[in-house]
Amino acid sequence: MTTPNRPDTGAARPSEGAARPGTGAARPGTAPSPAAVKIAFIGAGSVVFTQGLLAELFAYPELGHVHIALHDIDPERLATAEAAARHIAEVRGAKPVVTAHLERRRALDGAHFVINTVQVGMNEATRTDFEIPARYGVRQTIGDTLGIGGIFRALRTFPLLAALADDMAQLCPDAWLLNYTNPMAMNVMYLARATPLRRFVGLCHSVYWTVHDLAELLRVPFEEVSYLAAGVNHQAWVLRLERDGRSLYPLLDEAITADPQLRRRVRVDMYRRLGHYPTETSEHSSEYVPWYLRHESEVARLRLPIGTYLDIVEENTAQYERTRDALAAGSPLPVEESPEYAPQIIHSIVTGTPRTVYGNVPNHGLIDNLPPDAVVEVPCLVDAQGVQPTRVGALPPQCAALNRTYVSANDLVVRAAVENEPRHIRHAAMIDPATAAALPVERIWDLCDDLVRAHSQLLAPELRAVLGH
């Protein structure tokens, strides 16, 4: 999952007893009847995000009677999510079955779809990801996808994914896992390499919001824009942007020429030099290359807000508390639908309605000039047969070159977990562009040692070694 983005300002919109074996999941090539559908929300305590997903789910009349099984390990957040679900259903005129479970297996039993939004370690772990690197002089803005923050967020998340996959293999082996948890590409790569699951896709709305906001900037109705994007999550590229068969890139060039402030954004700077617009905010994009965060002049020129994600974390907490208090007082806050892919996928699989979404999946020949076992973001057809990625071919060579560095870091982080090799954690940090630009190699290893110590209880035991130089 990512925070939405705007091309004109780059500002991110704030986002967040043993069960019996399941028998209800649909067999491959078949779809369950709508009334029989069970959707498990893992990490439902991300209440605001859960509300948005439910509001869109219940907007489909065919999904008004589904079973919503909510799971979280925090009793208060789980109770808040349950109250929110019941309120949204009432407002939408839906009549779902809503159950809440502190025990994950009961939520998963017989599920057809599993939506994962878990953030392992929550706010405390996120603050650690920022504060310890900052002491070394490593600047981060978001810290959830690549870089030193992304590496350790992944290592905290992999044990959860392994346990979730094992439970799903027993209780709902044919269910689709729809993953929103970051770092998206690393998590999906881990699912592909280390778990028995084969029906999974990583979902992020960055492509949608990029094109939506480009259309807004260019004063073109979004519904009239056709586009193609591909690459890796948070570093995909808008390969085609058209209206009535004519490219909109010349209009974008004119807008950038006319507005000097647009040129003070990382993603616009990258577009001007690489020729294709990147699909994530300037804050995100700055962390995946070595050119910006290391230099005071670039931080100032491109208005990069160091540590901005910590503000988003605090706002997410405050928004949750407002929602909790409003529900308890009987005056719940209004909830708007959000154009997320999970409800669309569920609706398409259940009803057979074809549509295209963007998904993060193993490459397997989808993008020619990225490694075959990379996780790539490409358009996917969805219908009753499930999520079917489409082949894109080759990326522009300069775009693929950047993506390959990103993919190499992903590979080493996943290898660290799969091979129980703590040295690969350090190797990943060494080849990560922003970390390598900021520190000499000995300090990179020191930084990794400090983060291993700080996150030790959330890491797999084999990865807790402090290695020194």
Inform me whether the pLDDT recorded for 4 exceeds 80. Answer: no
Q: What is the fold of 34-122+142-202?
A: Rossmann fold (3.40.50)
- Comparing C-alpha atoms, which of 182, 194, 171, 190 is closest to residue 40? 171
pLDDT number for residue 139:
96
Q: Please state the length of the chain.
A: 469
- What mean pLDDT is predicted for residues 233-260? 97
Say whether pLDDT at 297 is over 90.
yes
Give the whole-angstrom CA distance, residue 86 versus residue 96: 8
pLDDT digits (tens, 9 = 90+) for 144-202: 999 999 999 999 999 999 999 999 999 999 999 999 999 999 999 999 999 999 999 99
Q: Is the pLDDT of residue 333 over 80?
A: no
For the stretch 101-125, what's the b/e string if a residue is b when 16 or more beta carbons lie within 10 angstroms of its beta carbon?
Answer: beebbbbbbbbbbbbbbbbbbbeeb
Q: Which of 67, 71, 112, 205 is catalytic?
A: 205
| 292 neighbors 304 (Cβ within 8 angstroms) | yes
Indicate whether 417 pLDDT > 60.
yes
Q: Which two tokens stand for residue 177?
A: 């896992």
pLDDT (average), residues 338-361 = 95
DSSP state of 395: P
The CA distance from 284 to 406, in Å, is: 13
> Does residue 132 contact residue 113 with C-beta atoms inside 8 Å?
no
Contacts of 237 (CB under 8 A, 6+ apart): 229, 230, 231, 274, 276, 277, 278, 279, 395, 396, 399
Mean pLDDT on 457-469: 90
Q: Which long-range contacts (CB under 8 A, 24 or more apart) does 99-103 make?
A: 99/67, 99/68, 99/69, 99/70, 100/44, 100/70, 100/71, 101/69, 101/70, 101/71, 102/71, 102/72, 102/73, 102/75, 102/78, 103/19, 103/71
> Rounded to the nearest 10 degrees, what angle do helices 397-418 and 147-171 cross at?
60
CA angle 331, 334, 335 (to 5 degrees): 130
| Least confident interval from 18-22, 57-61, 163-167, 301-305 | 18-22
Instruction: Say how far apart CA 90 and CA 93 lie, in whole Å.
Output: 5
pLDDT at residue 299 is higher than 90: yes
Confidence of residue 143 (pLDDT cuts 50, 70, 90): very high
Half-sphere exposure of 214 (CA within 13 A, CB side): 33
- Stretch 237-241: mean pLDDT, rounded? 98
Question: Is the CB of residue 5 less than 8 Å from the CB of residue 281?
Answer: yes
The model's pLDDT over 203-227, given as tens digits with 9 standing for 90+, comes to 999 999 999 999 999 999 999 999 9
In this model, does residue 71 exceed pLDDT 60? yes
Question: Average pLDDT, stretch 312-327?
Answer: 88
pLDDT tier for residue 307 given thresholds of 50, 70 and 90:
confident
Mean pLDDT is lowest, of 29-33, 300-304, 417-421, for 29-33
Domain edges within the chain: 34-122+142-202
Q: What is the mean pLDDT of residues 338-349?
A: 94
* Whether the predicted pLDDT of 344 surpasses 80: yes
pLDDT for residue 410 is more than 80: yes
Phi, psi of 136 (to 5 degrees): -90, -5
Residues with Cβ < 8 Å from 102, sequence gap 6 or more? 71, 72, 73, 75, 78
Q: Please report the pLDDT score of residue 6 as a whole number.
A: 34
| The predicted structure's pLDDT at residue 9 | 32
Which pLDDT does position 334 carry in this prediction?
A: 79
The answer to whether the bond into 183 is cis (omega within 30° of 0) is yes
- DSSP output for 146-171: SHHHHHHHHHHHHHHHHHHHHHHHHH
469 is catalytic: no
What is the mean pLDDT of the segment spanning 397-422? 98
Contact 183, 154 (CB under 8 A): yes
Query: Which residues, 6+ apart, have CB-to-CB distance to 281 below 8 Å?
Result: 3, 5, 6, 10, 11, 12, 142, 267
Q: How confident is the prediction for the chain on average, in pLDDT?
A: 91
- pLDDT the model gives residue 409: 97
pLDDT at 343 over 50: yes
Q: What is the pLDDT of residues 72-111, one digit of tens each?
A: 999 999 999 999 999 999 999 999 999 999 999 999 999 9
Instruction: Please answer whether residues 424 and 101 qualify as being in contact, where contact means their C-beta atoms are separated by less than 8 angstroms.
Output: no
Alpha helix stretches (DSSP H) within 75-183: 75-92, 104-108, 122-135, 147-171
